[in-house]
């Protein structure tokens, strides 16, 4: 039943080596031979055994997707975009999702699982410590960071600093000065982390506008809705003159809206809220946001790894655009 390369060879009256060459489109195969081989292959329904190909060639035609979650907006969209691009290219997607339980500790990534399994790796939406980055490099395969990554690595992302700055400027332009900020994580694994850059953007905007910073206006929400909720509670319990909030992700912004609604605070009449991401459901609730195209990021990243695998020089830093979507949750003070 399982038809192998020598079945094809026999049927086509050539050697297995020739079958291998012919089917992979290598040069130095007479066109008539190639045709004969291809016909035999199709007729017998031959498909190479992946593990045999990998073992013999050292290539797996598989790209790993390293991600802390798959159900979050950013990650699921990047993964979907990447998957589709990989499928088109004839590559497989190996999904490595691991629970990122809390702020501080996370299970060490077991690289043995990746080793010799993938031709390349996409690191999707996660901040890695320099040690982890170094470890990943020992895999010896092309790496592309999606969402954020070390400056000296190949990456696809939006300009987090500029994006957060634009979000804050949008509120400043509306006359707000007491602007709360819900960041990602308080701890700072590395300088290039999304949360660091966005926090920087927030501060840059305030400074440029001559508005004093106030630590009481800042809290952290781990990029998730529940965190946005607790972060909002923190700020509103501490300060009572906040008129606007910028959340570093739409999911956290949803949490802010939760709290505001529970407290009977109207949006945008009493408080303006702006998020970052462009979550599809943001417009249902009327959340103004700075949108990025996560799907596109994933597809672009795949393009990059594949280029790196074939050795073609690539752009090392793809910065994608964000777009302000005004959907009603912000207004002049």
Partner DNA sequence: TTGAAAGCGCTAACAC
Partner DNA sequence: GTGTTAGCGCTTTCAA
Residues of this chain that interact with DNA (CB under 7 A) are: 2, 4-6, 13-21, 23-24, 27-30, 32-34, 46, 48-49, 52-53, 55-58
Closer CB to DNA, 29 or 79, in the complex: 29
Closest to a copy of itself by CB, 1 vs 241, is: 1
Q: Binding of a copy of itself at residue 16 (CB under 8 A)?
A: no
Report the distance separating Cα 56 and Cα 24, nearest Å: 14
Rounded least distance, CB 236 to a copy of itself, Å: 18
Q: Which residue in this structure is represented by tokens 């500029």?
A: 162
Nearer to a copy of itself, 166 or 279 (CB): 279
**Residue 240 within binding range of a copy of itself, rule CB under 8 A:** no
250-279 residues in contact with a copy of itself (CB under 8 A) are 254, 257-258
Q: Which stretch binds a copy of itself (CB under 8 A): 44-52, 241-249, 268-276, 303-311?
A: 44-52
Radius of gyration from C-alpha coordinates of the chain: 25
Give the other-Cβ count within 10 Å of 99's Cβ: 9
Asked if residue 218 lies in contact with residue 181, where contact means CB atoms within 8 angstroms, the answer is yes
Which of 269, 251, 275, 273 is closest to 198 using CA atoms?
275
Work out whether the CA dihedral 251, 253, 256, 260 comes out positive or negative.
negative
- Cβ proximity to a copy of itself, 146 vs 218, nearer residue: 146
Distance CA 246, CA 282 (A): 14
Distance (Å, whole) CA 254 – CA 251: 5
106 binds a copy of itself (CB under 8 A): no
Could you tell me the smallest distance in angstroms from the CB atom of residue 299 to a copy of itself? Answer: 12
In the 8-state DSSP scheme, what is residue 215? G
**β-pairing, 179-183 with 244-247?**
parallel
Cβ neighbors of 266 (< 8 A, separation 6 or more) are 260
| Per rule CB under 8 A, count of chain residues that contact a copy of itself | 43
Give the residues lining the site for a copy of itself (CB under 8 A): 47, 49-52, 54-55, 60, 62, 65, 69-71, 73, 76-77, 79-80, 83-84, 87, 92-99, 112-113, 115-117, 225, 254, 257-258, 280-281, 284-285, 295
């Amino acid at each position: 039943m399982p038809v192998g390369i020598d079945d094809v060879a026999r049927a086509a009256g050539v050697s297995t080596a020739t079958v291998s060459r012919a089917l992979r489109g290598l040069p130095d195969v007479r066109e008539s031979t190639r045709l004969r081989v291809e016909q035999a292959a199709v007729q017998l329904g031959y498909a190479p055994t992946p593990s045999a190909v990998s073992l013999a060639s050292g290539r797996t035609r598989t790209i790993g997707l390293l991600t802390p979650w798959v159900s979050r907006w950013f990650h699921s969209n990047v993964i979907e975009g990447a998957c589709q691009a990989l499928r088109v290219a004839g590559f497989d997607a190996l999904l490595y999702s691991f629970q990122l339980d809390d702020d501080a500790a996370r299970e060490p990534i077991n690289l043995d699982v990746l080793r010799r399994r993938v031709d390349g790796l996409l690191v999707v939406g996660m901040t890695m410590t320099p040690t982890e980055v170094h470890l990943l490099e020992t895999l010896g395969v092309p790496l592309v960071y999606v969402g954020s990554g070390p400056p000296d690595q190949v990456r696809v992302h939006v300009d987090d600093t500029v994006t957060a700055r634009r979000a804050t400027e949008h509120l400043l332009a509306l006359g707000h000065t007491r602007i709360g900020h819900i960041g990602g994580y308080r701890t700072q694994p590395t300088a290039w982390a999304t949360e660091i850059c966005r926090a920087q953007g927030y501060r840059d905007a305030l400074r440029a506008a001559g508005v004093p910073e106030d630590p009481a206006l800042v809290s952290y929400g781990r990029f998730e809705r529940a965190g946005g909720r607790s972060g909002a509670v923190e700020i509103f319990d501490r300060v009572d003159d906040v008129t606007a909030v910028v959340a570093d992700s739409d999911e956290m912004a949803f949490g802010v809206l939760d709290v505001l609604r529970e407290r009977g605070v109207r949006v945008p009449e009493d408080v303006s809220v702006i998020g970052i991401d462009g979550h599809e459901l943001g417009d249902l609730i009327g959340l103004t946001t700075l949108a990025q195209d996560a799907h596109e990021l994933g597809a672009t990243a795949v393009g990059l790894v594949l280029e790196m695998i074939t050795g073609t020089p690539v752009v090392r830093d793809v910065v994608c655009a964000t777009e302000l979507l005004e959907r009603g949750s912000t207004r002049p003070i």
